[in-house]
Structure formats: structure tokens, C-alpha cells
Chains A and B, each alone.
Chain A
Amino acid sequence: MDEKLKNIKKLNVSKPLLLDCKQTVKDFSLAYETYGKLNESKDNAILVFHALTGDQFVSGVNPITKREGWWVTAVGPGKAIDTNKYFVICANVIGGCMGSWGPKEIDKKTNEPYGLNFPVITIRDIVKAQETLLDYLGIKKLLCATGGSMGGMQLLQFCATFPNRTFSAVPIACSTSHSAQNIALNELARQAIMADPVWDKGRYLKKNVQPKNGLAVARMVGHISYLSEKGMQEKFGRKLQEKADYEFSFDADFQVESYLRHQGFTFVERFDANSVLYITRAMDYFDLARQFKGGLVEAFKDQKTKFLVISFSSDWLYTTKENKDTVIALNASGADVSFAEIKTDKGHDSFLVNEPEFLKTLKGFIDSMYLKFKNEKRI
């Protein structure tokens, strides 16, 4: 896989970055991809932040996995985020494994993959690294920035750390801090990886292997949390997997088991186990109110960015209530904020699948913001 990663877009970030863990890094790589064209007035740029297991390949075909980009339902020619009209940017998070500086990269000091010598990073570190890409691309102010789940958390961090760098923002199915339930689920994923003997305290890459069993279980945990109880029941029920009766064994008798195993084992082909540890940790440490003395009101003060917060009614990972708390905080800071809850059975995953009401709302907002942004610049 590493050979393939040589041909993707990478920015070498030379500016030193002080991480929250107090380490300073420089000359690290940030892998990214862009779609569409930046117009002359540079006012059609949209930054997308990816979620935990995402990468920079938002649309089209991912050149590494040869699968569709993770957000083809929303981004592409003629889609809600229309790449015929807008210039879409997405970077792989640091700590990730699609070309950006992460635990599977070679540590120049030891000439070996970092493994657990990689510093523990935060959402703020991730976002600061990505901001350098905007400078590199010459974009002073984005038309919009958006992201779901961890992508939404990065977005809220981005707005707090770099106020008014974007004209509008659409945080989707996210929160201003990780809840106990979400930390617990992440811990389950990490423990699954670390319990796999192949993991070997993170040194598996030296032997050119992956703790596949642990990583697959981690993915299964995640997948359960992305669906809703009702959605799962409707999709799978008690249906059996290509068989007429129980086999009285521990093979995947049920369709839902087979589905989870499939999700788990395709994931290990494209993801690095240590990256899961580092990125889930960054999510758990995320607590925007903790970063500012005055709490969230301080975090969002003087925001001119126009926000649209979107939640999904059946999302139990980042509930409507948590999303509404973000709205309340933005309101309390006097920010310009809209909020819509999409009624759906598709759970947390709703932003990734074809959910027409969601896509219509996203499109309606971004298109109206584009007109406003152009108008504002004219004045």
C-alpha cells in the first residue's frame, strides 16, 4: 500500500506545529485531495473534514482502495455539494493512515514506523495542521466548511481556533465534547486492538503484519453504533445468511453477523490499527469548553460564520440533544445559527448514505450561502 501512497497529493508542512502534548513537529506530510475548480475570486471553496475512518478521497473513486469515495452521496458533479460549481478540499487527518503523518509513517530518528512513539494528538492539532493547507492553496476565506461525526467536531474546533476563516459552517451529527458513552465505545475498540497478540504494543508493522482480528472487532463495534435499533431490525431482522436453518455452530448464521464480519474484514485491508488508537483518543480528549476559560460562550464569541447544525432523529451516538446543546452554545454567544433535525431511521450513518431530506437541506443551505457570500463581497 505504501508504494501506492507515493502518487497522491501531499503538502509538506514546514511551519513548526506545537502539539497539545507540548511536542513541536515540523516537516510533516499532510495528504489531501481536491475536487472541482477554484474560481478566480476564490470564493467557492468548501473544506470537508472527514470522520474517524474516512480519508481525503471524498468523491469519485479512491485511487488506493479502488472503492467509491466515502461521501459520493453528497459530493460530486450535480450532487448536493456540486463540484461543477464548488471547489472541494479534504485532507487526511494527522494520525491517519492515508498518506498524512501518522503512526505507520517512518520515524526519522529510528528509521522505523512510529508505532506508539507517535505523539498523542488532539482534534485541535489535527485542525491546526489542516489550516496550513488553506494557506498553501491561497484561500483566505472559505465559502463553507462541513463534516459529520468527528468531521463535525473538527469543524467546531476550526471555527473556535480560526474565527471567521469560513463564511458558513455545517456541523453534522456531532458535539462540542465526547460523551461518556462515546468514550466507552472508543475504549471498546481500542481494547479489541490491544488484546490482539499480533498488535505487540504497536510494533506489528516491523514484522509487516496487522492485528487483523482486533481491528475487525473494533470496526464491528463502530458499525453497530452507526446504525439505529429500528434500522438494523428492518434491514436484518432475524434473517439467516444463505441457509435454511441454524447450523448449531458459531459461524455467521444470521445476516447481521455476516454483515458485521464483512465490514470488519474489509476494513483491515485499508486501515492501520494504531491509527484507530490515536484518532479515537483525539476524539475522546475533545472538549471545546475545557479549552476556553469562559467555556463554550467564549469559544464561539465574535463568530460571524453562519452555522447550520444538522442532527438525525435516530442517531444515538451523537443525539439530537447533544447537537441542540451546540446550537444553544452558539446562540448564547450571539452567533448566527440554524438548526434542523432530519427524521430518519438510518442512525448516525445518515449523513453518509442516500438520505434525500438531508441532502436537500445541505444543498439548499450551501447554495443560499454562496449567493450571500458573493453579495457580501460586492458590498
Chain B
Amino acid sequence: MKKEFKVIADLLPKNVRVLDVGCGDGSLMSLLIKEKNIQARGLELVEENVKKCIYKGLSVIEGNAETELHQFPNQSFDFVILSQTLQAFYNPEKVLKDLLRVGKSVIISIPNFGYWKVRTKLLFFGKMPVTKTLPNTWYNTPNLHMCTIKDLFDFCLEKNIKINKVVGVNEDKTSEIKKSNLEMKNLFSKLGIFLLS
């Protein structure tokens, strides 16, 4: 999902310190270093990905975000990024709190369970939706806590988390999501990207 990375890069100023939680093979970090001269660090669970990052000369720590974010001091990064993993944690609320502690701002992207195709699959076929952004079936999905853009929006309001910006992504199109267009965007965005603080 290159578009997602592009949106995230656009949200970031130059020369800041960023922690990419669940950084995978380091593609996003490489992009941010190249385009924004960002000081990037990664946290990654999968050993194979950790090595890929190391070979590229990227700084990465092998570890589990669910249990190991405590090692980072308060507000030690300007931005913490969590790309499409919030729904896979046992306790997303705790992880989100930790992200907001470690980073001055947090960028979270989620696959939107409120996207119309997801909704219709459940409605018309009566089966758990399998789509491009949600490719797994119910029994092997890592996603424990699926949510919609609207869910996360409401959650932030409820928990007094400041929403600075929300961007909806559908293929190559992006649009800003506000309270006024939330219902529509929740239906037509495949992905939601939140900038929180």
C-alpha cells in the first residue's frame, strides 16, 4: 500500500525523530529517511524482517509492541507510527496509550471495517468479509479487534485524545475526514489514517 506511506510521509515535517512500530522490512523508514531526512527507528516482531532492516542499515529493535514499548522513554520521539496493526493487539487501548506516551504525536492507520464492500459481504453473503485489505479468513486472521473509522474517531473523543487530522484512503484517492463527512467517508474509505496527540 504505497499510497498509505505517501500520506504518512506528507503528514510528517522534515528532520523529526520517528518510531515506526511494526516497521516490517523497513520500506516506510527508508522512504522517510530519503524524502524527509527523518531519524527513523523501528520496532518489529518478525525476525526475518528485523534482519532485512539491519542489512539496509536501518535501526530496528526486535520486539513486541504489546509488551515492549515500555523501553522507550516518555515523549522520546516526535512521531510514533503504527501502520495497520492496532486491530491485531490483545489490548489496543493500552498500546495506544503507550504510543501517546512515547511520541509527541501518533500516526495510526487502520483497515476500515466500515468500508461498503466489507459491509455488503457480511450483509448479503452472511460471511466474514475477505477483501484486499483484509485478506485473511476468520480462523487465521491476526486481527482481534476490527474497527471502523467511525469507531476509532468516537474512541478518541471518548478518551480525550486529540484528533489533529484524519485522512481516508481509497486506492489512489485520498480525502480529509471531518465530523461533518464522517458517515460518508466511513462508507467509502478502505483505510483511515489518524494523526493524534
Contact = CB atoms under 8 A, between A and B. Distances in A.
Does chain A bind chain B? yes
Interface of A: 306, 308, 324, 327-328, 331-332, 334, 336-341, 343, 357, 360-361, 364-365, 367-369, 371-372
Contacts of B55: 364-365, 367-368
Main secondary structure of the interface of B (DSSP, over half): mixed
B12 interface: no
A249 B63 CA distance: 50
B47 A339 contact: no
B62 A306 contact: no
A6 to B, nearest CB: 43
B72 interface: yes
Contacts of B137: none
A308 B54 contact: yes
8 contacts: A331-B71, A331-B76, A332-B71, A339-B62, A340-B62, A368-B56, A371-B57, A372-B57
Contact of B54 (A328, A332, A338): A338
> For the side of the interface on B, what is the size category?
10 to 19
Interface in B42-78: 47, 50-51, 53-63, 71-73, 76
Interface of B: 41, 47, 50-51, 53-63, 71-73, 76
A340 B57 contact: no
A340 B50 contact: yes
Nearest to B19: A331
A332 B73 contact: yes
Contacts, number: 56
Main secondary structure of the interface of A (DSSP, over half): helix
Closest 10 CB pairs of A and B: A368-B57, A364-B55, A328-B71, A339-B61, A338-B59, A340-B62, A338-B60, A365-B54, A336-B59, A364-B54
Contact of A343 (B47, B58, B71): B47
Nearest to A332: B73
Given A336-B41, A338-B53, A340-B50, 14 more contacts: A308-B54, A324-B71, A328-B71, A331-B61, A331-B73, A332-B71, A338-B61, A339-B60, A340-B54, A365-B54, A368-B54, A368-B56, A369-B57, A371-B57
Nearest to A336: B59
Contacts of A365: 54-55, 57
Nearest to B72: A331
A341 B73 contact: no
Contacts of A339: 60-63
Contacts of B63: 324, 339
A331 B72 CA distance: 6
A327 B71 contact: yes
Contact of B47 (A328, A340, A371): A340
A340 B59 CA distance: 11
Contacts of A306: 59
